[in-house]
Amino acid sequence: MGKKELSNRLNWENFSGKKAQNAEQDLYDVFNKAFEGTVYKLHEKPKHFKNLYASVKLSEDTLNSIFNPNIDYDNVSWGILPDFAIENTKTGKILFGEIKRQDGWVEGKAPSAGRGNAHERLCKLFTPGLLNLYKKVGGIDTDDILPFWVVFEGDITRDPKRVREITFWFDRYYMNFFMWQPNQKGDLLLKHFDNYLKQYLD
C-alpha cells in the first residue's frame, strides 16, 4: 500500500485487541488516536461560527422595531459552537458534529427517565440557514448526506421512544447519526465514520 493510501486510512491498530477493551469512551480521544498519521484532523469545539448571528443583516424596519444596544458586534459571541469537526486537510472538506448526551428510559427506570431536550436542541441543524452554511463552509454539498453528524451518548441510545423519534427525524439520512451505547468501544464509532461519512471528505 502506497503512502497516499496510508494517509487516508484510519489508524485501527489503536482500537484492536486489548487497547479496544480499555479504550475510554471519549469521542475526542478515539478520533485523535485514529487520525494519527492520516490526512484527517479532529477539531475540538471548532470556532468557525462563534460570531455567526452578529453578522446577520436585518432590514431597516426590523432594526427600528428591536432593541439595538451600542455594542461592538464584531466582538460578541452570538453564534454556535459545534462539539467537533472532522477535516480532511488535503481536500479542505469539513464535517461538523454534535455530541448529545442524555438520559433515557431503560431497564429499571421509569418512563420519565427519558425526559430531557438535549436531542431536541439538535433540530437547529435542520434549518435552511445552518444547512446552507455548513454546506458552504464544510464543502459537503450533496443530497446523499447531511453536512453534519450527531453522536448520541447515554441511555437515550436505548430508549424505545427517543430512538424512534430520532430515527424518524433523520429519515433516509440514517448515516448522519450514531447511537453510541454505554460500554460500546471506539471501533464501532470509527466504523460508522469509515463506512458512511469519510468518503464525503475525500
Q: Which CATH superfamily is domain 26-46+82-201 in?
A: Eco RI Endonuclease, subunit A (3.40.580.10)
Which pLDDT tens digit goes with each residue over 182-201? 989 899 999 999 999 999 99
The amino acid occupying position 58 is L
* Parallel, antiparallel or unpaired: strands 177-180 and 94-101: unpaired
pLDDT at residue 24 tops 80: no
What mean pLDDT is predicted for residues 133-161?
A: 97
Reply yes or no on whether the pLDDT at 13 is more than 70: no
- Nearest to residue 177, comparing CAs of 125, 137, 132, 135? 125
Which has the higher per-residue pLDDT, 89 or 75? Answer: 89
Number of H helices, E strands in the chain: 7, 5
Q: Is the pLDDT of residue 1 over 60?
A: no
Distances (CA, A) of 113 to 9, 71, 167: 40, 43, 19
- The domain locations on the chain are 26-46+82-201
Q: pTM of the predicted model, to two decimals?
A: 0.86
Residue 115 three-state SS: coil
For the cut 60, the answer to whether the pLDDT of residue 101 exceeds it is: yes
pLDDT of residue 74: 87
